[in-house]
Amino acid sequence: MIIKKPTADQAFIESNVAKRFSPLARQMLAASGPIVSSAAAGMTNGFSAILLPQLQQPDSRFTITEEQSSWIASMAPLPMAAGCIIGGLLMERFGRKSAHLLLNVSFAIGWCALSMAQSYPQILIGRFITGFSCGLVGPPASVYIAETSDPRYRGILLAGVTFAVSGGILLAHLFGTFFRWQTAALLCSLFMILAYLLMLVSPESPSWLLGRGELQRAETAFRWLRGYGPESRSEFEAMVARSTIGRSQEKPSEGGGRGQEEEEEHATSPYRRREFLMPLATLFVFFATMQFSGVNIVAFYSISLMRTTIGSDGLNEYLAMLIVDLVRVFTSLLACVLLRSVGRRPLAMASGIGTTVSLIGLSIFLYFQTSIPLYRNYSSLSLIFLISYIVFVGIGLFPLPWCMTGEIFPVVTRGLGSGLTSSFNFVCFFAVIKTGPTLFAAVGTNGTFLVYGVISLLGTLLLYVLLPETKNRTLAEIEDQFRAGRQRSAKVLPTVTTVSAGVA
């Protein structure tokens, strides 16, 4: 067996961590650092909803125009795309753990800059840094959790990222409800200290270490995470064998030991192969569908949207905002449970159809509410439609692409692939947030929701064609599945599964 018993110099780690806590507990500890960092990303998304109303109050230290409000809201998404690319490069060059430590420092600097801002330009600087840090956390969080978790628990741990984002939005709104925005920003910065400490005690990704040829460190990290069980031993041996083959293929061939088809595959760049291009296209469609269904409009413009949806005589808009936030958090928790028990494809289809119906239904009801006086007193019904939308988008369209970012790319292209798809997500994010007010002004709130509903429908149809099933499959099996194609994967996977029997 490859996995050896611990040596004397490893006794402290084994006795105080590995033997006191189960492998699942250790995997949860490793995932907690990226999850807390993701909560800071949610705080960034929700911060403008409490920042803008306070800046527009008469007692504000300085006033802002509508154009400046738009730039404050969209300044965070603007650098997220660049942050994703850099985050992907950092985790490939320096490791998943080191990338997380760096982004936590960057996040803390951004929140502190916001808490000390005394002018409009200083607010933009703080928003830019926190937005850039949001981009940095995108690729490493999903990839690190995917590479350090058991296939049986990978779905629920990856869903913890989107749960943390939803929780971060709620926390930002709570801080802004009871404190001034400067104090709220300072409170948000405290979470980065916790995330940094959690990452310090977590190991580096075994997959990354194997890719670097550091077998002993990879073995130690894998054992820390997964223990000595026969399933984990078999999986690590398969990982080592696959890594050895991958490194040998990178060396020039010294003889005619390969067939023509194998030589052609070897000569092709890994970034031009099917197992990279198909996940890339699938996630591009997934992220575009998620963003252009308006998922972040509600978070960024919560209070102003509540005033339009429930009317000035309806519920208090801050109370309605917190209700929506609580529903979002509950839905993210529900998504964690569903991802543990339901496949990716059926969950994506149910979420897409429910989101489409909710958006179109909300659009139709808002049209009647604004056109027929009889319906103006039923503002709570608009809130029900909005909550229905948040529930359906939260169980699938929102968490699934982030979950799959860390699991569907081959290890050799995982850094760039996750960086590109996360970057594309934030480009769409910026486009939606920046054009949202213009769209609301041009076609009204009901027309905007109708546009988002149509996009959700079209995206769901494309996902029905492209999206494979990855639940309970090892990362190696998912790579082989994309290489063979979704329609032929049923014939390929039984053969692959024998390599790591029992793991899935």
Which part of the chain is CATH 1.20.1250.20? 21-202, 272-485
Please answer whether residues 309 and 382 qualify as being in contact, where contact means their C-beta atoms are separated by less than 8 angstroms.
yes
C-alpha to C-alpha distance for 498 and 7, rounded to whole angstroms: 31
Cα-flanking dihedrals φ and ψ of residue 240, to 5°? -65, -45
The percent helix, strand, coil of the chain (3-state, each to 5) is 80, 0, 20
Q: Does domain 272-485 have CATH number 2.40.160.40?
A: no
Tokens read off for 107:
């996040």
Give the pLDDT confidence score for residue 463 in this predicted structure.
93
Q: For the beta carbon of residue 372, count every other beta carbon within 10 angstroms.
A: 9
CATH of 21-202, one of 1.20.1250.20, 1.10.10.2520, 3.40.630.30, 1.20.1290.10: 1.20.1250.20
Identify which of 477, 387, 485 has the alpha carbon closest to the alpha carbon of residue 151: 477
Cβ within 8 Å of residue 401, ≥6 positions away? 283, 286, 287, 290, 421, 425
Which residue reads 């650092």 in tokens?
A: 33
Please answer whether residues 41 and 168 qualify as being in contact, where contact means their C-beta atoms are separated by less than 8 angstroms.
yes
In angstroms, the Cα distances linking 275 to 21, 272, 475 are 36, 9, 12
One-letter amino acid for residue 411 of the chain: V
pLDDT tens, N- to C-terminus, the chain (504 residues): 444 544 433 433 444 545 567 888 899 999 999 999 999 998 998 888 788 888 888 777 777 877 788 788 778 877 888 888 898 889 888 999 999 999 999 999 999 999 998 888 999 999 999 999 998 998 889 889 988 988 888 888 888 888 898 889 889 888 888 888 899 999 999 999 999 999 999 999 998 898 888 888 988 898 898 887 777 778 788 778 777 765 555 554 444 444 455 455 555 677 788 888 888 999 999 999 999 998 877 666 656 666 666 555 555 666 766 777 788 788 888 888 887 788 889 999 999 999 999 888 888 877 777 666 665 666 667 777 778 888 898 888 888 888 888 788 887 788 888 888 888 988 888 888 778 878 888 888 888 889 999 999 999 999 998 888 887 777 777 777 777 764 444 444 443 333 333 332
Identify which of 70, 77, 42, 37 has the alpha carbon closest to the alpha carbon of residue 56: 70
Cα-flanking dihedrals φ and ψ of residue 336, to 5°? -60, -45
Tokens read off for 23:
């492998």
Which residue reads 């968490």 in tokens?
A: 399
C-alpha to C-alpha distance for 402 and 407, rounded to whole angstroms: 9
Cα-flanking dihedrals φ and ψ of residue 128, to 5°? -65, -45
- For 466, counting Cβ atoms within 10 Å of its Cβ (0-12 exposed, 13-18 middle, 19+ buried), the class is middle
Q: Taking the alpha carbons of 149, 164, 418, 198 in that order, is the dihedral positive or negative?
A: negative
C-alpha to C-alpha distance for 15 and 10, rounded to whole angstroms: 9
